[in-house]
Amino acid sequence: MEPIRVLVRRGGTVESVHRVHAVVVRDGEVVGSAGEPELVTFFRSSAKPLQALQLVRARPDFDDRLVAIACASHRAEPEQIQAVRDLLAAASATEEDLELGLQEGRPPERIYHNCSGKHAGMLAVCRARDWPTGGYRLPEHPLQQEILGEVTAAAGVTPATGTDHCSVVTFALPLERMATTFSRLTELDGGDRIAAAMRAHPQLIGGEDSLDTKLMRSAPGWLAKGGAEGLLCGITPDGAGFALKAEDGAFRALSPALASFFPGLEEFARVPIENSRGEEVGEVVAE
């Protein structure tokens, strides 16, 4: 099956075309696909629910709000930043302990980076396990070794690795393996806590304009986590894992592609394009 074609129209004329690969896995079997299920890409922030498993095991006392922000790629909304501050305090850590840089277009403080919740959660694990907090982001650190083992076990293959934008390890896997890891998430030790926290606090996971937040808010039972370069992974209401990847990294293609791939999500089928005056001048839709 060919990839999902997503068209960008302006004034009725097609301006751009995005190709989206998609796969859904249930009980270890591919039950639906478009494009190349074996396409290899980096997990990026879609891996955060797996990276947070160490947190819920080390600190089972943390409430869902703190767990959710550890899985987030936040938009620096006030509620999200407060949750990161609370997670740092619970970890007996400070903003100075965060080993990430500043994010362009945001206030010049590390806590405003969209991955600050994940990093705060990693610091909490290090404190609980009596591991050094310095260098927690590096591949050789015990925390990153544990996370690599977690991803390898869930995916059933050893991923290639690289360095994410926020400076921690990221994992390269086929889309089918990413979908497989999400299909297994709630079976993993602590995975049910992760899923429950994300569903309970979708506003923390992305933000008002984020596809993962909007999907979890409007479609009961869904779980979703976006990743950089046009990736979206998650779990359907019946427990299947899915992964969608825009070949060119364009995240705007994912909403129409999601609606095209999964019946019943028509509200995501069309993304309006507005000019600088807020007037609608085009649309992003699946072909």
Q: What would the pLDDT profile of 248-270 be if each residue is shown by its tens digit? A: 999 999 999 999 999 999 999 99
Q: Please, what is the average pLDDT of the chain?
A: 97
Q: What is the pLDDT of residue 215?
A: 98
122-142 residue pLDDT tens = 999 999 999 999 999 999 999
Q: What is the mean pLDDT of residues 275-283?
A: 97
Local structure of 214: helix, strand or coil: helix
The total domain count for the chain is 1
Q: What is the pLDDT of residue 120?
A: 98
Q: Is the pLDDT of residue 69 over 90?
A: yes
Q: Is the pLDDT of residue 193 over 90?
A: yes
Q: What is the mean pLDDT of residues 78-91?
A: 98
93-103 residue pLDDT tens = 999 999 999 99
- Contacts of 27-35 with CB under 8 Å at 24 or more apart are 27/183, 28/180, 28/183, 30/176, 30/179, 31/240, 32/261, 33/1, 33/176, 34/1, 34/2, 34/3, 34/4, 34/261, 35/1, 35/2, 35/3, 35/4, 35/247
CA atoms 106, 78, 68, 217: torsion sign: negative
Q: Is the pLDDT of residue 121 over 90?
A: yes
Beta strand ranges found along 4-142 (DSSP E): 4-10, 13-26, 29-34, 40-42
User: What is d(CA 122, CA 139) in angstroms, rounded to the nearest whole number?
Assistant: 13
Q: Is the pLDDT of residue 203 over 90?
A: yes
Cα Rg of the chain, angstroms: 18
Q: What is the pLDDT of residue 1?
A: 85
CATH number, domain of 16, equals 3.40.710
5-60 residue pLDDT tens = 999 999 999 999 999 999 999 999 999 999 999 999 999 999 999 999 999 999 99
Helix (H) or strand (E) holding 274: strand 270-274
- Its pTM stands at 0.96
Containing domain of residue 155, as a range?
Answer: 4-286
